[in-house]
Amino acid sequence: MSLWRKKSINKLLADAGNTEHGLKKTLSAWSLIALGIGAIIGAGIFVQTARAAAECAGSGVLLSFVFAAIGCLFAGLCYAEFASMIPIAGSAYTYAYTTMGELVAWIIGWALVLEYAIGAATVAIAWSEYLNKLFGGVIPYAFCHSPFESPSALGEHGIINLPALFILLLLSLLLIRGTQESARVNAVIVCIKVTIVLAFIFVGWQFIKPENHTPFLIPAGQPPIAGHDYSLPFNHGWLGVLHGAGIVFFAFIGFDAVSTAAQETKNPKRDMPIGILGSLAICTVLYILFSWVITGVAPYTDFLKHGKEASVSYAVSTYMTGYNWLASAVTIAILAGFSSVILVMLLGQSRVFYSMATDGLLPKVFSDLHPKFRTPYKSNIILFLFVGLFAGFIPESVAGDLTSIGTLLAFTLVCLGIIIMRRNDPERPRPFRTPWVPFIPIMGICVCLAMIIGLDTRTILTAISWMILGLVVFFSYSRHHSNIAKENIDKNVR
């Protein structure tokens, strides 16, 4: 059996047209933009900005965001063409199945687990830490930290992260209830967090000190600080900016999750490009402004000790006199932002699994729809258990970069798919056309591969191990159970 067998686009569109038994179409263009912003603005802007600035980019983290945004723009244009042409749940997985065949589709679907499922776990961990901060640390250390994290200053060890499991359960139940209801809750959350992000930018601008932006990039001769070695090639200068782009790229994950909801969109040919590119554009502007303000308010070296979840609150309380209320507001915005990110990530993962199960590459349980709500409720339950294992027991630092590398691989293959589809099916109607093909897709591939190279070796090796595990599953189960394989067997029997 060929590893490169492809799905027919015409059959895909015919199957998706089954509105009686398929996913319910409830989303508009504005719903999609809100979903995109809901997924994008969350952990990345509040956590990864300070981390990238402190570890490798300095004030040049602004350029890291620009570089990451350019890569996302190239990929976003390719996603927009595919999503308008093939409005099917499954996103990059489905696009790969129609252009590059079953094996590549499986690889990209397996990589999307790193993006959506591990991404949801990463954000749930951060949500837990912020919740504990909001309540003054009343949750015992043992019940809000992974057992694999370093002990606290008092020598306490983690057992399980219960708040992370709580938010995952709550949002999984909401997704089971329905996509439209989830979108409404997400829209409210988006309004709250965007308002507070804008407040931080507006207020913080008054406290920017030009000396904090000088030098703009970390110099090669920067001495070690708090045990962090800046002399390494990817920890200073332009290579540091590239490394930073790989880190802050996590902040852009989400706009592609919009494409997983294509099958539930009222007018996907028009609305999918608007949702994908609109949410990406809005968030890019906010990220650039935010990174300029936070590195101008506080020196990037401060974030070596006061980074990650504490970075924004630290900058406000230490350097923005008279605005302590903003630190509390930021904490609320972060909790709201994290919630919407988790919501959209879980939505995206369940829709990818829905498509893979519909194609026979995963067990049918992942495509079973609730008799009343018409959502893949069994998939949501299984995902809660799987993601919960990571959120409850794995440190955030391990999960975050794995999410980025999974997304970058997906983006790379989507860009490649546009080139292949233009060559193999040039007459196919395209409501949205990616401009300057093959230049845009090739640039998207190059930028994404560059950001993969900029990630640390441990992350790359872990991702390779994950992909090897995926290939084992494919060759032992998926290859023999795929619908295309069964169709070929039936033809041969006849």
Domain ranges of the chain: 9-208+239-493
Average pLDDT over residues 191-214: 92
- The token duo for 52 is 């990238």
Is a pLDDT exceeding 60 seen at residue 19?
no
The neighbouring-strand residues paired with 476 are none
| % of the chain with per-residue pLDDT over 70 | 94
Q: How confident is the model at residue 190 (pLDDT cuts 50, 70, 90)?
A: confident
Residue type, 7: K
Integer Cα distance of 407 and 412 in angstroms = 9
Integer Cα distance of 162 and 444 in angstroms = 39
- The token duo for 352 is 């990818």
Is a pLDDT exceeding 90 seen at residue 217?
yes
Integer Cα distance of 403 and 421 in angstroms = 27
Q: Which pairs from 146-154 meet CB under 8 Å and 24+ separation?
A: 146/392, 146/393, 146/394, 146/395, 147/393, 148/393, 148/394, 148/395, 149/395
In contact, 425 and 147? CB cutoff 8 Å: no
Q: How confident is the model at residue 175 (pLDDT cuts 50, 70, 90)?
A: very high
| % of the chain with per-residue pLDDT over 90 | 32
What pLDDT does 115 receive? 76
Is a pLDDT exceeding 60 seen at residue 229?
yes
What pLDDT does 397 receive? 60
- The token duo for 81 is 């063409």
Average pLDDT over residues 199-226: 92
Is a pLDDT exceeding 70 seen at residue 214?
yes
Cβ burial of 164 (10 Å; 0-12, 13-18, 19+) is buried
Is a pLDDT exceeding 90 seen at residue 95?
no
Average pLDDT over residues 44-73: 88
Residues in the chain: 494
Query: Domain 9-208+239-493 is of which CATH architecture?
Result: Up-down Bundle (1.20)
Integer Cα distance of 297 and 308 in angstroms = 16
CA distances from 452 to 83, 143, 299, 461 (A): 25, 34, 27, 11
Report the b/e string of 35-45 with b at 16+ CB within 10 A.
bbbbbbbbbbb
Interacting residues of 180 by C-beta distance below 8 A, sequence separation 6+: 24, 26, 27
pLDDT in tens, 277-331: 999 999 999 999 999 999 999 999 999 887 666 788 889 889 998 888 888 787 7
Which one, of 29, 9, 22, lies nearest residue 277 by Cα? Answer: 29
- The alpha carbon of 123 is separated from its chain's Cα centroid by a whole number of angstroms, namely 10
DSSP string for residues in 61-75: HHHHHHHHHHHHHHH
Is a pLDDT exceeding 90 seen at residue 433?
yes
Instruction: Tell me the torsion sign for CA atoms 148, 151, 157, 160.
Output: negative
What pLDDT does 210 receive? 94
Integer Cα distance of 180 and 264 in angstroms = 9
Residue spans of alpha helices (H) in 19-115: 29-40, 43, 49-52, 61-85, 92-99, 102-112
What pLDDT does 282 receive? 92
Integer Cα distance of 86 and 456 in angstroms = 35
What would you report as the CA-atom Rg of the chain, rounded to the nearest whole angstrom? 22
What pLDDT does 25 receive? 80
Q: Which of 258 and 300 is assigned the larger pLDDT?
A: 300
pLDDT in tens, 348-407: 889 889 989 989 999 999 999 988 888 899 999 999 999 999 888 877 665 666 777 888
pLDDT in tens, 479-493: 989 988 777 655 554
Cβ burial of 185 (10 Å; 0-12, 13-18, 19+) is middle
Neighbours of 399 (CB within 10 A): 23
In contact, 163 and 144? CB cutoff 8 Å: yes
What pLDDT does 274 receive? 92
What pLDDT does 341 receive? 83
Lowest-confidence range among 113-122, 204-213, 214-223, 239-248?
113-122
Q: How confident is the model at residue 43 (pLDDT cuts 50, 70, 90)?
A: low
- The token duo for 265 is 């969109």
Integer Cα distance of 312 and 46 in angstroms = 7
